[in-house]
């Protein structure tokens, strides 16, 4: 029972954090067709900006300003970088964002140093929300859940229920038509890229103080974001949401399970002295998302809710 | 035209040859992580080596030669380390120092053994300052390898001695990194606890992947629901810091007995919650009584490298023992230095250190310390620091462990 409750709580909070991080990536891909390798780097920028702003004012100001700043950086990158690279095709775009990721990391190292900065949870939320089976659940994580859900609803409303969303969607499939109707298509793309980066920045603001804010945080988060996006279906916001929760729950439940392979497959005659039999489920937890990635690519290449194949 | 080119080339070569002939630097290759999640661990040691070398050079060097520390980033990857090792050899290094990661140390020991066998006259020595898998000075022992840190069994002996005295501890949870070192820590804990306190129940034995876990909350909740009275961990680097962060968030209130609680950021992560709970075992802490020179050194380090704290005291032991051995041998060549190191003793700031000849394992007193808010020197740029616990000094004899090493020595 404890395992299930803990698994659910942590799984949902971790999963929603993943969603915040990957929603921007999937948004950019679905709207612009750009697979942004530098996405996790924008997440890192969000955390660092929040650290700086928190230092000179407060976390609450950082919560609003930092994502906007990251969004501006993203918009500049689109306007003066990506837009010029775009005519050269997808490979050029991929390589551009790939290089950009390294560039941002190095700049962060130069500005903030190679080691972690002391970015903390705001004091107002630094208490235990409730206690369950002797372990406390931090209020800040509940705040994260709240922000993530608000973000999902906001995004969904913007894209599906507003005129702006309609134009954005149309600009992807029929850019010339939308252009002829008098909309500034390149500007729309710049906005979309900026918003996508701002979402990553917001995730950084929220996650930087739960985990560690250091120059390695982008590299550590990078792979898992792509797993979420691919599993959910590239370009599908709902899919990314589902996949984030799935991965969050999967990882957290696996850690909570004490069984070893030998105990599960004992009926097949596996002994707990054998190499495979000694592996415990919990030690496999961090690998599971990648296993899921491989399985999805083999059996359902379009992802859980995706429309197009990779 | 051609003639001029050749002349320039010839001039350049002769300058190079001159440089090689005068050879007045002793090259130390520092092969450890200088980026990534374990970058801070490597960087803290690298800066320590640099400062130690500077001090030696300012005082006339070793046998008149200057020490140069060259950094090679191995990303805690054994394969990458072998590439860096080759690079270091090509750059003229005769001494290799490494510490972060027993998987790396194992690969380097093998590489050094091979290199020395194939290149007589160009031998290199491996000074291991922190990779503490016991096997390196037991079944895998090598004449070319010297360990300047107490190995896992020795540190565990200190921890289990301390637990044995604490009657209120009835159950223990083991958590560690899933590689050769984490496994060694777990088996040492199991073996020694069953010997010293057979009544203690081990309620969990968890291994997690090295440097991959971002959120330790589920692990901490497992620890809490297991009802353990104490936790033993060998975690280091980011794994230590994140474990402590999750422990603080979840309100875990049991003592954490660690090898590397001094890892950068761990104390700051726990904050006030860590007082009286986070313990570490080490060869020295800054808040022990020491000479004014030692205090000056601690302060100089902090001033030069404000991001880090004076933590790697053993780095100074490495350099001081090297200097003493080389001066006794009268040369900076690896084989005579290695022979002089065997059985060598130095007095360092926190006691005596002796390099045991039979297995090249340093023997020294160990100290168990705990986070406190009443200290001379804080860490992580906050006011909390390490304070010796009651009866926290483990003498050299008590920490000493037997060895199974059968060493092959060169002529």
Query: Measuring CA to CA, how many Å separate B277 from each of B6, B155, B244?
Result: 70, 18, 11
Residue A158 has pLDDT above 90, yes or no: no
Interface test with A, best of B175, B225, B235 (most A CBs within 10 A): B225
Highest mean pLDDT among A254-263, A296-305, B53-62 belongs to B53-62
**Which of the given ranges, A135-139, A154-158, B401-405, has the highest pLDDT on average?**
B401-405
Res B62: pLDDT: 93
**pLDDT tens profile B95-137:** 999 999 899 999 999 999 999 999 999 999 999 999 999 999 9
For residue B7, the model assigns a pLDDT of 52
Contact A216 B39 (CB under 8 A): yes
- Other beta carbons within 10 angstroms of residue A68's beta carbon come to 14
Q: What is the DSSP string of B160-194?
A: HHHHHT-TT--EEEEEEESSHHHHHHHHHHHHHHH
CB spacing of B212 vs A286 below 8 angstroms? yes
Rounded to a whole number of angstroms, the distance from the CA of A70 to the nearest CA of chain B is 23
For chain A, what are the domain ranges? 2-222
Write down the ipTM of this complex.
0.78
CATH of domain B153-282+365-399: 3.40.50.2300
Residue B9 predicted with pLDDT over 60: no
Q: Is the pLDDT of residue B237 over 90?
A: no
Q: Does A92 touch chain B (CB under 8 A)?
A: no
CA distance A137 to chain B (A): 6
- Choose among A131, A220, A286: nearest Cβ to B37: A220
* Confidence band of B8 (pLDDT split at 50, 70, 90): low
Average pLDDT (B218-236) is: 89
* Mean pLDDT computed over B198-215: 87
CB atoms within 10 A of CB B385: 21
| pLDDT (0 to 100) of residue A273 | 65
Interface contact flag, B36 A283, Cβ < 8 Å? no
Query: Stretch B64-75: mean pLDDT, rounded?
Result: 93
- Residue among A114, A115, A220 minimizing CB distance to B214: A220
Closest CA to B239 of B271, B216, B269: B216
pLDDT over 90 at A115, yes or no: no
Average pLDDT over residues A124-151: 84
A275 touches chain B (CB under 8 A): no
Q: What is the pLDDT of residues B22-60, one digit of tens each?
A: 448 999 999 999 877 788 889 999 999 999 999 999 999
Q: Under DSSP, is residue B96 helix (H, G, I), strand (E, B) or coil?
A: strand
pLDDT number for residue A288: 87
Coil/strand/helix, residue B398: helix
Maximum Cα interatomic distance, chain B, rounded to a whole number of Å:
87
**Residue that wins the pLDDT comparison between A129 and B103:** B103
Identify which has the larger pLDDT, A244 or B7: A244
In tens, the pLDDT along A45-64 reads: 999 999 999 989 889 999 99
Bridge partners (DSSP) of residue B171 are B201
HEC profile of A192-236: HHHHHHHHHHHHHHHHCCCCCECCCHHHHHHHHHHHHHHHHCCCC
What proportion of chain A, given as a percentage, has pLDDT over 90?
31
pLDDT at A308: 60
What pLDDT shows up at residue B2?
Answer: 53
Contact A114 B212 (CB under 8 A): no
SS3 of residue B346 by DSSP: strand
The rounded mean pLDDT for chain B is: 88
A126 touches chain B (CB under 8 A): no
Task: Please answer whether residues A165 and A188 qualify as being in contact, where contact means their C-beta atoms are separated by less than 8 angstroms.
Answer: no
**Residues B200-229, mean pLDDT to the nearest whole number:** 87
Residues of chain B with CATH 3.40.50.2300: 23-150+294-363, 153-282+365-399
d(C-alpha A68, C-alpha A66), whole Å = 5
B40 and A214 within 8 Å at the Cβ level: the answer is: yes
The percentage of chain A sitting over the pLDDT mark of 70, rounded to a whole number, equals 95
Per-residue confidence band for B4, with pLDDT thresholds at 50, 70 and 90:
low
Helix axes A59-77, A185-207, angle to 10 degrees: 140
The C-alpha of B115 sits at a distance from chain A's nearest C-alpha, in angstroms, of 33
Average model confidence (pLDDT) for chain A? 86
Tens digit of pLDDT for each residue in A15-49? 999 999 998 898 888 877 788 899 999 999 999 99
- Top mean pLDDT of A235-249, B95-109, B228-242 is at B95-109
Are the beta carbons of A239 and A232 closer than 8 angstroms? yes
With 80 as the cut, is the pLDDT of residue A172 above it?
Answer: no
CA A294 to chain centre: 19
Instruction: For residue A179, list its beta bridge partners.
Output: none
Q: How far apart are the C-alpha atoms of B129 and B364, rounded to whole Å?
A: 13
pLDDT by residue (tens digit) across B331-374?
999 999 999 999 999 999 999 999 999 999 999 999 999 999 88
Nearest to A216 among B37, B208, B252 (CB): B37
Residue A270 has pLDDT above 90, yes or no: no
What is the Cβ-side half-sphere exposure of residue A28, based on CA atoms within 13 angstroms? 31
pLDDT bucket at B17, cuts 50 / 70 / 90: very low
Instruction: Decide which of B218 and A281 is more confident.
Output: B218
The CATH-assigned architecture of domain B23-150+294-363 is 3-Layer(aba) Sandwich (3.40)
3-state secondary structure A173-185: HCHHHHHHCCCCH
Nearest Cα residue in chain A from B213: A286
Angle at the Cα of B106 from the Cα atoms of B101 and B109, rounded to 5 degrees: 125
Distance CA A23, CA A30 (A): 10
Alpha-carbon gap: B280 to the closest alpha carbon of chain A (Å) = 21
Determine the pLDDT at residue B5.
54
Among the listed ranges A112-126, A192-206, B182-196, which one has the minimum average pLDDT value? A112-126
Residues 219-238 in A contacting B (C-alpha not used; CB under 8 Å): 219-221
Question: Which has the higher per-residue pLDDT, B31 or B241?
Answer: B31
Does A210 touch chain B if contact means CB atoms closer than 8 Å?
A: yes
Inform me whether the C-beta atom of residue A1 falls under 8 Å from chain B C-beta atoms. Answer: no
**pLDDT score for A280:** 75
Answer positive or negative: Cα dihedral of A99, A102, A105, A111. negative
Alpha-carbon distance B265 to B279, whole Å? 14
pLDDT at A310: 47
Q: What residues of chain B lie within 8 A of the CB of A287, using their CB?
A: 209
Q: Per-residue pLDDT for B11 more than 60? A: no
CA angle B26, B27, B29 (to 5 degrees): 150
The percentage of residues in chain B with a pLDDT greater than 90, rounded to a whole number, is 61
Q: For the segment A197-227, what is each residue's pLDDT rounded down to a tens digit?
A: 999 999 999 998 888 888 888 888 888 888 9
pTM of the model: 0.80
Residue B316 φ/ψ, nearest 5 degrees: -65, -35
Most confident of A156-160, B126-130, B248-252: B126-130
Q: B305 to chain A: which residues are within 8 Å by CB?
A: none
pLDDT for B21 equals: 39
pLDDT over 70 percentage in chain B: 94
> Are A37 and A94 contacting, i.e. CB atoms less than 8 angstroms apart?
yes
User: How many angstroms separate the CA atoms of A99 and B159, rounded?
Assistant: 47
Number of residues in chain A? 310
Q: How confident is the model at residue B325 (pLDDT cuts 50, 70, 90)?
A: very high
By C-alpha distance, the chain B residue nearest A253 is B218
């Amino acid at each position: 029972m404890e395992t299930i409750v803990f698994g659910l709580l942590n799984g949902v909070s971790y999963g929603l954090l993943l969603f915040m991080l990957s929603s921007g990536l999937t948004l950019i891909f679905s709207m612009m067709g750009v697979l942004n390798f530098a996405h996790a780097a924008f997440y890192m920028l969000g955390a660092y900006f929040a650290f700086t702003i928190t230092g000179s004012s407060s976390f609450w100001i950082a919560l609003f300003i930092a994502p906007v700043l990251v969004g501006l950086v993203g918009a500049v990158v689109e306007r003066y970088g990506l837009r010029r690279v775009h005519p050269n095709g997808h490979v050029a775009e991929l390589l551009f964002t790939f290089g950009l990721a390294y560039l941002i990391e190095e700049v962060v190292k130069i500005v903030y140093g190679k080691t972690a900065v002391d970015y903390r949870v705001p004091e107002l939320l630094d208490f235990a929300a409730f206690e369950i089976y002797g372990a406390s659940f931090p209020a800040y994580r509940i705040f994260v859940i709240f922000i993530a859900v608000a973000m999902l609803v906001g995004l969904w409303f913007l894209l599906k229920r507003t005129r702006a969303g309609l134009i954005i969607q149309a600009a992807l499939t029929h850019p010339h038509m939308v252009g002829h109707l008098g909309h500034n298509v390149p500007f729309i793309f710049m906005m979309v890229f900026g918003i996508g980066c701002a979402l990553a920045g917001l995730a950084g603001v929220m996650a930087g103080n739960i985990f560690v804010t250091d120059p390695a945080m982008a590299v550590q988060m990078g792979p898992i974001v792509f797993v979420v996006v691919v599993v959910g279906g590239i370009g599908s916001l709902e899919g990314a949401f589902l996949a984030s929760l799935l991965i969050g729950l999967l990882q957290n439940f696996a850690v909570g399970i004490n069984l070893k392979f030998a105990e599960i497959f004992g009926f097949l005659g596996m002994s707990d002295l054998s190499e495979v039999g000694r592996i415990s489920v919990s030690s496999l937890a961090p690998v599971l998302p990648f296993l899921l990635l491989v399985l999805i690519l083999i059996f359902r290449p379009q992802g859980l809710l995706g429309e197009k194949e990779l | 035209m051609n003639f001029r080119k050749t002349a320039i080339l010839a001039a350049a070569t002769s300058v190079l040859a001159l440089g090689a002939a005068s050879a007045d630097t002793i090259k130390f290759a520092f092969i450890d992580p200088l980026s990534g999640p374990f970058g801070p661990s490597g960087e803290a040691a690298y800066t320590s080596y640099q400062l130690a070398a500077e001090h030696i050079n300012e005082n006339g060097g070793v046998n008149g030669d200057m020490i140069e520390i060259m950094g090679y980033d191995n990303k805690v990857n054994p394969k990458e380390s072998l590439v860096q090792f080759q690079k270091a050899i090509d750059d003229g290094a005769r001494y290799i120092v490494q510490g972060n990661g027993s998987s790396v140390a194992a690969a380097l020991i093998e590489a050094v053994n091979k290199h020395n066998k194939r290149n007589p006259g160009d031998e290199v020595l491996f000074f291991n300052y922190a990779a503490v898998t016991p096997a390196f000075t037991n079944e895998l022992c090598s004449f070319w390898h010297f360990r300047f840190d107490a190995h896992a069994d020795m540190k565990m002996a200190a921890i289990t001695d301390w637990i044995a005295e604490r009657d209120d501890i009835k159950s223990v949870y083991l958590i560690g990194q899933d590689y050769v070192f984490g496994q060694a820590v777990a088996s040492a804990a199991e073996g020694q606890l069953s010997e010293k306190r057979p009544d203690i129940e081990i309620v969990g034995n968890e291994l997690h992947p090295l440097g991959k876990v971002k959120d330790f909350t589920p692990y901490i909740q497992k620890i809490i629901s297991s009802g353990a009275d104490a936790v033993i961990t060998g975690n280091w680097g980011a794994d230590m810091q994140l474990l402590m962060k999750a422990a603080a968030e979840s309100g875990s209130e049991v003592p954490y007995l660690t090898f590397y609680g001094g890892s950068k950021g761990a104390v700051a992560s726990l904050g006030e919650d860590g007082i009286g709970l986070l313990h570490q075992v080490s060869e020295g802490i800054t808040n022990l009584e020491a000479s004014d020179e030692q205090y000056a050194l601690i302060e100089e380090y902090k001033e030069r490298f404000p991001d880090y704290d004076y933590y790697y005291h053993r780095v100074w032991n490495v350099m001081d023992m090297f200097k003493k051995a080389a001066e006794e041998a009268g040369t900076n060549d690896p084989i005579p230095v290695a022979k002089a190191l065997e059985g060598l003793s130095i007095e360092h700031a926190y006691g005596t250190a002796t390099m045991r000849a039979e297995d090249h394992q340093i023997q020294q007193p160990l100290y168990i310390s705990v986070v406190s808010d009443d200290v001379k020197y804080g860490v992580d740029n906050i006011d909390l620091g390490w304070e010796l616990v009651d009866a926290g000094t483990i003498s050299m004899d008590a920490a000493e462990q037997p060895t199974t090493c059968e060493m092959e020595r060169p002529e």
